[in-house]
């Protein structure tokens, strides 16, 4: 079969790219090595982790805040197998949705491992049998896998990755999370909310280190206060051993002393590495980068081989589903002869802890480093009427704007529903709004979004009203 486009991988990059190709009239096929579509995001990433975050948040609220609301529950219990079953159902609904969309858009799908024979011929192998298809263009969307530490073998039973952490059918007493990044903190909070004693071991001095420094500081404070999570910063993990149902992790602390931690499970969440195994890149002369194994691409996401593109986690940039999706659309439109554009500075980053953390644009640290003259305005949720009503008063919104032009350069927030609220900042920044623009736009009352308006007012002549 001859296709205009063959996409390898059906994650958010691959499936969205394939649908856009089909919408543009290109004969399209997708190859996926797993039985279900949707890649990491739908099967073992964004969707199942959010399902468990929602379930565990309900439990935590029922156990800790319902009484204050005047709601008394008796015999509150966690039914872990049911929680996991609901999560699996959410995943199944989403992956089935992709199957429906492929059918609707007349996209052919193949189950098996796709590998290059040459730049236009792809071999699909499944259970020892193979077939080949040809394509004018190929989009590699093969994603990523959890990074392993060479001195810390993952046994998938007690020393686990995020994938196994989504399927624990008991509430562990103690859990160690290696890595204070997004994935570690989200999964750590799931279990901490259910009653597990969670200890986060992080090499760097702060958690979520790539985000604006104020966010990590506040998140660490709140997770400690509300969930009893412990943080061991500046600790270099040196190894882990298991004995029966226990795991012991050893580390060197900031003073150079050897320390050890014991728990029922240890989640290794130290990042993700681009996944290129089995693609046969050597057959078309593509060499991956030494650091992170990423496939090198130019500004148009084309590899060194004309007609072969790569998108999502397997290329440079943030490892995020929405970045992969936008790149899928970008490449489809390039192939169809259009001139699309992605603004990489405006890809929002979100941590789905509670409070949620969300960020877009430059951090204060980046602006200082670049010598940009900026002004900052903050507004705390403790001064928000909406936040008081829902008892979600931790956190703040910070707006950074150019000192001369008032153009918004970055927005950083930690607080209730920050994941949804950041969209307003992204839209404003895409249209190059000033802080004054946000300050003068009417925001519904009472909403959490008023905090963004107030932070913008604080950034322009320090005129926030409610603080
Ligand atoms: P993937 O989703 O990894 O998909 C790649 C697909 O390619 C896979 O299905 C794989 O089987 C297939 N494949 C690989 N090689 C071949 C081959 N040779 N032949 C056939 N098929 C092949 N991001 C967010 O934006 N928001 C979140 O809330 C979020 N939460 C996350 C939570 C967790 C626990 C994890 C692990 C990740 C999370 N992410 C989140 C990251 C997000 O999942 C990834 O950024 C996203 O899935 C990348 O999409 P992709 O299309 O590049 O690759």
Whether the upstream peptide bond of residue 446 has omega within 30° of 0, thus cis, is: yes
Residue of 277, 40, 53, 47 whose CA lies nearest to 161: 40
**Torsion 259-186-382-361 (CA) sign:** positive
Atom of ligand 1 nearest to the CA of 325: 51
pTM for the model stands at: 0.98
Per-residue pLDDT at 100: 98
Is the Cβ–Cβ distance between 7 and 139 less than 8 Å? yes
Per-residue pLDDT at 246: 97
Residues 6+ apart with CB under 8 A from 76: 59, 62, 63
DSSP string, 12-46: HHHHHHHHHHHHTT--EEEEESSSSSSHHHHHHSH
Distance 141 CA to ligand 1 centre (A): 9
CA distance 296 to 14: 17
CA distance 360 to 418: 11
CA distance 172 to 162: 15
Does residue 466 have an active-site annotation?
no
Atom of ligand 1 nearest to the CA of 166: 34
Atom of ligand 1 nearest to the CA of 318: 45
Per-residue pLDDT at 401: 98
Per-residue pLDDT at 8: 98
Distance 69 CA to ligand 1 centre (A): 40
Nearest residue (CA) to ligand 1, atom 47: 41
Helices 12-23 and 80-104: crossing angle in degrees, nearest 10, is 20
How many other C-beta atoms can be found within 10 angstroms of the C-beta atom of residue 170? 12
Per-residue pLDDT at 1: 80
Atom of ligand 1 nearest to the CA of 41: 43
- pLDDT < 70 regions, the chain: none
Query: How many residues can be counted in the chain?
Result: 467
Distance 41 CA to ligand 1 centre (A): 5
Distance 44 CA to ligand 1 centre (A): 8
Is the Cβ–Cβ distance between 424 and 399 less than 8 Å? no
CA distance 130 to 283: 17
Nearest residue (CA) to ligand 1, atom 7: 9
CA distance 356 to 464: 23
Cα–Cα distances (Å) from 444 to 287, 386, 440, 448, in that order, read 52, 11, 13, 9
Distance 82 CA to ligand 1 centre (A): 25
Structural tokens at position 437: 């623009």
Query: Does 183 count as an annotated binding residue?
Result: yes
Query: In the structure, which protein residues have their CB atom closer than 6 angstroms to any atom of ligand 1?
Result: 8-14, 31-34, 39-41, 45-46, 49, 113-114, 141-144, 162, 183, 275, 278-279, 312-314, 319-322, 324, 352
Nearest residue (CA) to ligand 1, atom 22: 9
Structural tokens at position 305: 């081989």
Is the Cβ–Cβ distance between 444 and 408 less than 8 Å? no
CA distance 188 to 256: 26
> Which one of 9, 108, 292, 319 would you pick to mutate in the ligand 1 pocket, going by the greatest count of ligand atoms within 8 A of its CB?
9
Per-residue pLDDT at 159: 98
DSSP class of residue 275? -
CA distance 312 to 327: 7
Query: Does 182 count as an annotated binding residue?
Result: yes
Query: Does 389 count as an annotated binding residue?
Result: no
Q: In the chain, what are the helix, strand and coil shares in percent, each to the nearest 5?
A: 35, 25, 40
CA distance 338 to 329: 11
Query: Does 407 count as an annotated binding residue?
Result: no
Show the CA angle centred on residue 267, arms to residues 209 and 353, nearest 5°. 50
Helices 213-227 and 182-194: crossing angle in degrees, nearest 10, is 20
Query: Does 5 count as an annotated binding residue?
Result: no
CA distance 210 to 164: 26
**Torsion 223-229-230-231 (CA) sign:** negative
Catalytic residue among 64, 69, 300, 445: 445
CA distance 257 to 370: 37
Query: Does 280 count as an annotated binding residue?
Result: no
CA atoms within 13 A on the CB side of 335: 34
Atom of ligand 1 nearest to the CA of 314: 52
Is the Cβ–Cβ distance between 231 and 209 less than 8 Å? no
Interface confidence (ipTM) of the complex = 0.99
Distance 265 CA to ligand 1 centre (A): 24
List helix spans (H) across 237-301. none
Question: Which domains, ranges and CATH numbers included, belong to the chain?
Answer: 2-146+273-336 (3.50.50.60), 159-270 (3.50.50.60), 355-461 (3.30.390.30)
> Which one of 41, 110, 123 would you pick to mutate in the ligand 1 pocket, going by the greatest count of ligand atoms within 8 A of its CB?
41
DSSP string, 300-320: TSB-SSTTEEE-GGGSSS---
Atom of ligand 1 nearest to the CA of 319: 45
Structural tokens at position 6: 């063959």
Distance 65 CA to ligand 1 centre (A): 35
Nearest residue (CA) to ligand 1, atom 40: 46
CA atoms within 13 A on the CB side of 64: 16
Query: Does 322 count as an annotated binding residue?
Result: yes
Nearest residue (CA) to ligand 1, atom 26: 46
Q: How many distinct helices (H) and strands (E) make up the chain? A: 13, 22
């Amino acid at each position: 079969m001859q296709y205009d486009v063959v996409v390898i991988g059906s994650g958010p990059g691959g499936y969205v790219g394939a649908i856009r190709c089909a919408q543009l009239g290109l004969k399209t096929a997708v190859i996926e090595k797993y039985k279900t579509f949707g890649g990491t995001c739908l099967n073992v990433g964004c969707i199942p982790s959010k399902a468990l975050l929602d379930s565990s948040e309900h439990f935590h609220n029922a156990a800790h805040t319902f009484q204050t609301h005047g709601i008394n529950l008796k015999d509150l219990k966690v039914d872990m197998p049911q929680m996991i079953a609901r999560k699996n159902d959410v995943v199944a609904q989403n992956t089935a949705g992709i199957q429906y969309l492929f059918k609707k858009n007349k996209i052919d799908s193949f189950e098996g491992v796709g590998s290059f024979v040459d730049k236009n011929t792809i071999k699909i192998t499944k259970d020892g049998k193979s077939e080949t298809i040809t394509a004018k263009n190929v989009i590699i969307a093969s994603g990523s896998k959890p990074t392993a530490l060479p001195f810390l073998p993952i046994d998938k039973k007690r020393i686990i990755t995020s994938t196994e952490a989504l399927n624990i059918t008991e509430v562990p007493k103690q859990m160690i999370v290696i890595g204070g990044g997004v994935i570690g903190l989200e999964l750590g909070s799931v279990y901490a909310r259910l009653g597990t004693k969670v200890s986060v071991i992080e090499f760097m001095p702060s958690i979520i280190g790539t985000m604006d420094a104020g966010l990590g500081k506040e998140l660490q404070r709140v997770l400690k206060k509300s969930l009893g999570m412990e943080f061991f910063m500046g600790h270099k993990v040196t190894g882990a051993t298991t004995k029966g149902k226990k795991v012991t992790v050893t580390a060197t602390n900031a003073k150079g002393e050897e320390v050890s931690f014991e728990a029922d499970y240890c989640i290794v969440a130290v990042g993700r590495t681009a996944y290129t195994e089995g693609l046969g890149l050597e057959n078309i002369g593509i060499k991956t980068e030494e650091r992170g194994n990423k496939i090198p691409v130019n500004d148009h996401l084309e590899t060194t081989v004309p007609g072969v593109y790569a998108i999502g986690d397997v290329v440079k940039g943030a490892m995020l589903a929405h970045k992969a999706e936008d790149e899928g659309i970008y490449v489809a439109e390039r192939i169809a002869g259009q001139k699309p554009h992605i603004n990489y500075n405006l890809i929002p980053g979100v941590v789905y802890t509670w409070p949620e953390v969300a960020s877009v644009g430059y951090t204060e640290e980046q602006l200082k480093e670049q010598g940009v003259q900026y002004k900052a305005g903050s507004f705390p949720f403790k001064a928000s009427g909406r936040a008081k009503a829902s008892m979600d008063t931790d956190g703040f919104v910070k707006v950074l704007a150019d000192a001369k032009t008032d153009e918004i350069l970055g927005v950083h927030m930690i607080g209730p529903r920050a994941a949804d609220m950041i969209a307003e900042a992204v839209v404003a920044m895409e249209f190059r709004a000033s802080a004054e623009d946000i300050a003068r736009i009417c925001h519904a009352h009472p909403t959490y979004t008023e905090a963004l308006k107030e932070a913008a007012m604080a950034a322009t002549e320090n005129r926030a009203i409610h603080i």
